[in-house]
């Protein structure tokens, strides 16, 4: 009788530990996915902000960016944005530059892992 109670305790303990292990593994996986998404979102926002700062610096230096910017198609909907022949931003889905009087209006959308659209005026 005593050995059957010990065996029952052992089975209950194993079941509880396995449920606990599966639950904690599931939680760790969800945290990993959330961190990966946040990481890629932060990188995409930093890329857009650095592109904005670079273009703003060029405009403030007196450079006509409309002649230096060009797009290189990668697929039917995605292009790379280049400045003076060097890649400035990848995975561009929409891009337009309009010069109105002395101001440049730029609309840009990028989609690698998530879609980000921005409108700038310098």
Distance CA 108, CA 67 (A): 17
Structural domains in the chain (count): 1
The domain of 18 spans 2-121
Sign of CA dihedral 58, 71, 41, 117: positive
Q: Which residue has the higher pLDDT, 66 or 31?
A: 31
Mean pLDDT in the chain?
90
- Indicate the length of the chain as a whole number: 122
Q: What is the dihedral of CA 20, 22, 26, 31, to 10 degrees?
A: 50
pLDDT single digits (tens) 36-80: 999 999 999 999 999 999 999 998 888 888 888 888 887 878 889
Poorest-pLDDT segment among 2-6, 43-47, 52-56, 107-111: 2-6
């Amino acid at each position: 009788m005593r050995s059957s109670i010990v065996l029952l305790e052992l089975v209950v303990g194993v079941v509880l530990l396995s449920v606990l292990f599966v639950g904690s593994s599931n939680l760790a996986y969800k945290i990993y996915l959330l961190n990966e998404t946040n990481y890629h979102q932060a990188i995409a926002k930093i890329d857009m902000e650095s592109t904005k700062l670079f273009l703003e610096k060029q405009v403030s230096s007196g450079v006509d960016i409309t002649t230096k910017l060009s797009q290189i198609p990668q697929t039917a909907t995605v292009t790379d944005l280049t400045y003076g022949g060097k890649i400035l931003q990848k995975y561009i889905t929409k891009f337009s530059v309009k010069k109105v009087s002395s101001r440049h209006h730029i609309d840009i959308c990028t989609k690698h892992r998530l879609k980000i659209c921005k409108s700038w005026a310098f």
